[in-house]
Structure 1
Amino acid sequence: MAYEARRDVFQAIADPTRREIIGLVVKEPQNLNALAGNFNMSRPAISQHVKILTECGLIIIKQKGRERYCEAKLDQLNEVSAWIEQYKQFWEQKLDALESYLTKIQQQQKPTKNARRKK
């Protein structure tokens, strides 16, 4: 039994070509030939990217007549959003603390009115 790595959304969006494919099919569903026409690579290479995106659940393939159309299904990006949100909150807290600290230092360095009069 061959080992097949589980693909996840993070792997899918790590590649700029796959991010561009997602961007294209979000605007409107596209068949594989039309999709491949947007890139300077072979159709099989685009098909491989689409395969990864479908395995991760970011794209679904729908048969319409003889054509297969790629449609965006971005529910899986909620996992990425939740992961990013935790770091966003972390850094916002750190930046808020830094801002408070810098404000405190600036206030301590300002000469008081009485100190200016004595000069």
Structure 2
Amino acid sequence: MDRARQADYDRSLNTLASHGIVPGTIVIDDKWQQDYATCRPDTEKWPDMAGWIRKRQDAGQQVLLWHLAWDTEGAPPEACIRDHTGQPVALDPESPAGRKLIQQAARSMIGELGPKGSK
């Protein structure tokens, strides 16, 4: 989780390139986002994620974003399925708040950041 940082990806990709290896697809892995439920980048780890993705795609590489689709981190309780104690356990796509949050997260992740997809 702690390695999903722009600087780490740049360092790894530069090392590969120095050996003549240029990956065609790059997956930005777990915990690039500030909160799982919102899919907004953690700007301390990724100061310009959209620009980074655009630069890689302009160079002919595809970028995918890792997505933990059901996690409740950053979600309001009304957007979640809860257990018998009231603790959130998963996003609730059946609730209006859950649907809205999922749609906003997809727009943020795919629409604003511009990867080719998610994993």
TM range (shorter): under 0.3
Higher percent of residues as strand: 2
Return the TM-score normalized by structure 2.
0.24
Higher percent of residues as helix: 1
Return the TM-score normalized by structure 1.
0.24
**Higher RCO (CA-CA < 8 Å; seq separation 6+):** 2
Q: Computing the radius of gyration over CA atoms, which structure comes out larger, 1 or 2?
A: 1
